[in-house]
Structure 1
Amino acid sequence: MDPDRPLIPAELNRYARPDVLIEKGRLRFLELNISTRLGGDAVARWLADAYIGLCPESGLRRPPSTVAARCEALNRMRHAGNGHGGTGRLLIPIHSVIDVSGARQRRDRIQPVIVAGAQRLGFEVFQADLADLSLDAAGRLLVSDVPLDVVLLRWYGSDRIIDDGGGLAALCAADRAGTVGLFPRPESALVSSKAVLSWLREDCDAGVLGPADRALVRDHIPWTVCLGLDGDPEVERNLLRMAAAERDQLVAKPAVGQSSNEVIFGNQMSAQYWQSAVADAARESPLVLQRRVESGRITMPFRDRESGQRVTTRVPFVLSLFMVDRAAAGVLARHMTPDLPDGDVVIGMRHGARPNAVLLAPAS
């Protein structure tokens, strides 16, 4: 929004959704997403309530609510004020984009639970197209001549906004003038680059981090290095040679990507193809090499689609931990199904994974 604006550390991680695998009982952070699912996942909420209803005496409960945590963060922004009293007018913008596939899409699906949550805290919620935004003489952002206090952003740079009618420029100008608050700030998308994990490992090895942070990085972030990001050519050549020798233990991922596209596992291809694939991909755009994490599995019952019989199998899963203002704010689980190939897989919705709920049990 404003390339000249200094980065504020507290803003970079106000909202995040790390993806976590459990390997032999230990959490492994694969990446730090900035999710567009600001309200959590409707399927997970529905399943959680259904499970709790089936076992009302169990003491099971939902994790903290992502919706409530995000609304409380918005409320803190309002009370902090942004130059004109914090009256509580919240904009959820609607816009059109060209997505990564080149298709035109309309981003106008707003979960009612998001609107209701904000209204419960006293926000006056506006849903308006970017093309309907303007500025007043004081640099305040307006919709229908009404000044706005906070904007709930729902894009992070993966799509190209089109047909905004100058509204995006108005939003940028209000941001530079400090007359409107943005949640989350767009620069928070910077931490979603997997290069951040490689920098953490570098800082850990260089002794830059304190003892507690070094232990955290070594215990929970798999070995990660970045290629193609203006690094030393000789160092990168050495990394490529290492990658060739240890391909069975490595996975290559775009440093900036989504939905697990273009992820390649070294143990699923020949040595010759792996080395050329990694080198070619690094020339196109930065990528990371990461030690392959062997996901833990969970035993789950399923209904066989053909016979209708119940089958039980062990499937890999990933946990997505919603964090708002650096506090826990919900969990989404994704797991594979029995009819998908065994072996290393990307546990993503585009690869056949299914969402599920996570419930918290009472302390024993």
Structure 2
Amino acid sequence: MDSSVTSRYLAASAAPDSDLRNPTAHAELPAVFGKSYGHVLLPRPLFVSEPEIGAFADDLAAIFRVLVSLPDRCFGGDVYRYGAAIGLPDELIEVMAEGATGDPVLYARADAFHDGTRFRLLELNIGSELGGVDTAQLNRALLGVPAFRAFAEANGLGHTDTMVHLVAALRGAAGGVPDADPVHPVVALIEGPGALGEHDGVFLSIQEDMRNHGIELLLGEIQELTEGADGKLALHDRPVDVVLRYFAAGQIAGDPVARAALTRLNRAHAAGRTALFSPLEGALFTSKAALGLLHRPEVRAALTATEQELVDRILPRTWVLSGESTEGTESYRQALAHARAHRTSLVLKPGIGYSADGVVIGRDVTEEQWQEALERAAVRDYVAQELVTPALEPVVDPAGGRTDGWVANWGIFVTPQGFGGAFCRALRPEDGAVITYANPGTRGTCVFTHPATVSEESRI
């Protein structure tokens, strides 16, 4: 996506001695953020029109509303029937549905490609266990680099701080807890059993950024939460006003200790003693297979014309490949037949998965490997999704001055207030097709927005 702002930035980066070639190298990063991410940063930030990304966030909110309406609209209000249709096992549905209200919190992050014309939604991660919420620390650090600050001022650049949205949500949750300080509640980020250390750099950076926003953030695991006589939960003997959930349903199901801890947490939340942000209810709709339902004829028939247009505009065609589905068996057979016949235009993805684990890109494997992958997909919650060809983001190599094209995966947040900030992970095509930090070629960066039209006379 080569906007006029990007073109100007590339022109300003052309001189070998320009600080705009690699402003991240000159930025004074916060200590923990720098330690966690400093070695995987793209040389420059990415730019996008504020109206465009704001409109996409509005579309995401609309897709969210459609998704959460599906159990009632298409499955008689039965979340188990709905869950079966997207390949969720009963034990996961039971965990996700405990304490469900039918009105999950709108707090989500899309993973999206931009095809040069518009954003296309690859997946919608619904719930509080989201990475990238602390990325605005990089925005602020870049604005401390004089050359970049001058460019930002000349081109009307701005940014949305996701942490501001998250802190507002946490303070709002604390507002329902009688003994909580509404401005400085005690918040505990809670992971699943044994998982806190796996991503300690991520959590410590979130803790660092949240402290700058006036919130003390404790770190712990769900089994460490204890319940007082008054029903309030505590972590390491500290009473907790709000739990910021970073555990997933898969970490709880099948673990009796964690399951009992979740019940205590849901009980404290219902009683208003310790608020939970956000309940696992949203996980019912975060599966990529939930998006796939929107293309099934029997589900599509329940959508309004406006909703159908929305789905067609932002969501690549997605087929549910769940052989265990009790709904739409004819749709399943048709989906599998299409996937078998169209390898090069499809990607296989687990419905619920992280860090691109289990992803198979059809054009990168042989026909035999593709058919084997489809056989494996038939016994769990997989989808086949139409491949989106993203526009490349040009980035000047700081050392040699060569301009390379990078594929950018846009992480775009949406909250009840609308657009909630964005960040990007990027990869050069020659370094692979799956953008994840498990791939050593992946780099991350922040996003700056600009007005719809930036004056051609703007200069640094």
Asked whether the equivalents of residues 350 and 382 of structure 2 are also in contact (C-alpha less than 8 Å), the reply is yes
Q: Give the whole-Å Cα distance in 2 for the aligned partners of 1:292 and 1:18.
A: 16
Q: Which residue of 1 aligns with 2:350?
A: 254
Q: Give the whole-Å Cα distance in 2 for the aligned partners of 1:325 and 1:263.
A: 31
User: Which of 130, 144, 147 is the aligned partner of 1:36?
Assistant: 130
User: Which of 140, 150, 171 is the aligned partner of 2:265?
Assistant: 171
| 1:197 maps onto 2:291 in alignment | yes
Asked whether the equivalents of residues 63 and 329 of structure 1 are also in contact (C-alpha less than 8 Å), the reply is no
User: Which of 336, 339, 362 is the aligned partner of 1:243?
Assistant: 339
Give the letter for the 1:226 counterpart: V
Q: Give the whole-Å Cα distance in 1 for the aligned partners of 2:132 and 2:445.
A: 17
Q: Quote the offset at 1:208 in angstroms.
A: 1.5
In the TM superposition, 1:150-161 aligns within 5 A as: 150-157=242-249, 159=251
Q: Give the whole-Å Cα distance in 2 for the aligned partners of 1:25 and 1:291.
A: 17
Q: Which residue of 1 aligns with 2:388?
A: 293
Deviates more, 1:155-164 or 1:255-264: 155-164
Q: Give the whole-Å Cα distance in 2 for the aligned partners of 1:2 and 1:24.
A: 37
| 1:347 maps onto 2:426 in alignment | no
Question: Which structure has more strand as a fraction of its residues?
Answer: 1
Q: Quote the offset at 1:320 in angstroms.
A: 0.8
Q: Which residue of 1 aligns with 2:61?
A: none
Output one character per residue of 1:165-200: Cα deviation in whole Å (capped at 9) or x when no partner.
975554243134343211122222232200111122
Structure 2 SS opposite 1:321: strand
| 1:141 maps onto 2:233 in alignment | yes
Q: Return closer, same or farther for 1:211/1:94 CA change in 2, 3 Å cut-off.
A: closer
Q: Give the whole-Å Cα distance in 1 for the aligned partners of 2:299 and 2:260.
A: 47
| 1:19 maps onto 2:141 in alignment | no
Q: Give the whole-Å Cα distance in 1 for the aligned partners of 2:135 and 2:209.
A: 11
Asked whether the equivalents of residues 38 and 70 of structure 1 are also in contact (C-alpha less than 8 Å), the reply is no
Q: Which residue of 2 aligns with 1:311?
A: 402
Give the letter for the 2:123 counterpart: E
Give the letter for the 1:311 counterpart: R
Question: Which structure has more helix as a fraction of its residues?
Answer: 2
Q: Return closer, same or farther for 1:140/1:201 CA change in 2, 3 Å cut-off.
A: same
Q: Quote the offset at 1:221 in angstroms.
A: 0.3
Q: Return closer, same or farther for 1:137/1:31 CA change in 2, 3 Å cut-off.
A: same
| 1:45 maps onto 2:139 in alignment | yes
| 1:268 maps onto 2:359 in alignment | no
Deviates more, 1:17-26 or 1:273-282: 273-282
Unmatched runs of 5 consecutive residues or more in structure 2? 1-94, 454-460
Q: Quote the offset at 1:147 in angstroms.
A: 4.5
Asked whether the equivalents of residues 243 and 275 of structure 2 are also in contact (C-alpha less than 8 Å), the reply is yes
Q: Which residue of 2 aligns with 1:281?
A: 377
Q: Give the whole-Å Cα distance in 1 for the aligned partners of 2:446 and 2:96.
A: 38
Asked whether the equivalents of residues 104 and 281 of structure 2 are also in contact (C-alpha less than 8 Å), the reply is no
Q: Quote the offset at 1:90 in angstroms.
A: 2.4
Q: Quote the offset at 1:143 in angstroms.
A: 4.8
Give the letter for the 1:350 counterpart: A
Structure 2 SS opposite 1:256: coil
| 1:65 maps onto 2:161 in alignment | yes
What TM-score comes out, normalization by structure 1 length? Answer: 0.81
| 1:362 maps onto 2:362 in alignment | no
Q: Return closer, same or farther for 1:47/1:157 CA change in 2, 3 Å cut-off.
A: farther
Structure 2 SS opposite 1:87: coil
Q: Quote the offset at 1:151 in angstroms.
A: 1.6
| 1:8 maps onto 2:102 in alignment | yes
Structure 1 vs Structure 2: percent identity of aligned residues?
25
Asked whether the equivalents of residues 188 and 240 of structure 2 are also in contact (C-alpha less than 8 Å), the reply is no
In the TM superposition, 1:114-125 aligns within 5 A as: 114-119=210-215
Asked whether the equivalents of residues 2 and 176 of structure 1 are also in contact (C-alpha less than 8 Å), the reply is no
Provide the alpha-carbon RMSD of the alignment.
Answer: 3.3
Structure 2 SS opposite 1:174: helix
Unmatched runs of 5 consecutive residues or more in structure 1? none
Q: Give the whole-Å Cα distance in 1 for the aligned partners of 2:344 and 2:222.
A: 48
Output one character per residue of 1:266-287: Cα deviation in whole Å (capped at 9) or x when no partner.
222233331232122222x110
Q: Quote the offset at 1:32 in angstroms.
A: 0.7
Q: Quote the offset at 1:300 in angstroms.
A: 1.5
Q: Give the whole-Å Cα distance in 2 for the aligned partners of 1:71 and 1:311.
A: 41
Q: Give the whole-Å Cα distance in 1 for the aligned partners of 2:218 and 2:140.
A: 27
Q: Give the whole-Å Cα distance in 2 for the aligned partners of 1:225 and 1:197.
A: 9
Structure 2 SS opposite 1:201: coil
Q: Which residue of 1 aligns with 2:304?
A: 210
Q: Give the whole-Å Cα distance in 1 for the aligned partners of 2:277 and 2:101.
A: 15
Q: Return closer, same or farther for 1:112/1:169 CA change in 2, 3 Å cut-off.
A: same
Q: Give the whole-Å Cα distance in 2 for the aligned partners of 1:238 and 1:36.
A: 34
Asked whether the equivalents of residues 226 and 287 of structure 1 are also in contact (C-alpha less than 8 Å), the reply is yes
Q: Give the whole-Å Cα distance in 1 for the aligned partners of 2:287 and 2:266.
A: 23
Q: Return closer, same or farther for 1:334/1:93 CA change in 2, 3 Å cut-off.
A: closer
Asked whether the equivalents of residues 132 and 143 of structure 1 are also in contact (C-alpha less than 8 Å), the reply is yes
Q: Give the whole-Å Cα distance in 2 for the aligned partners of 1:95 and 1:334.
A: 24
Asked whether the equivalents of residues 223 and 290 of structure 1 are also in contact (C-alpha less than 8 Å), the reply is yes
Q: Return closer, same or farther for 1:201/1:166 CA change in 2, 3 Å cut-off.
A: closer
Asked whether the equivalents of residues 194 and 221 of structure 2 are also in contact (C-alpha less than 8 Å), the reply is no
Output one character per residue of 1:196-222: Cα deviation in whole Å (capped at 9) or x when no partner.
111222268633122222111011101
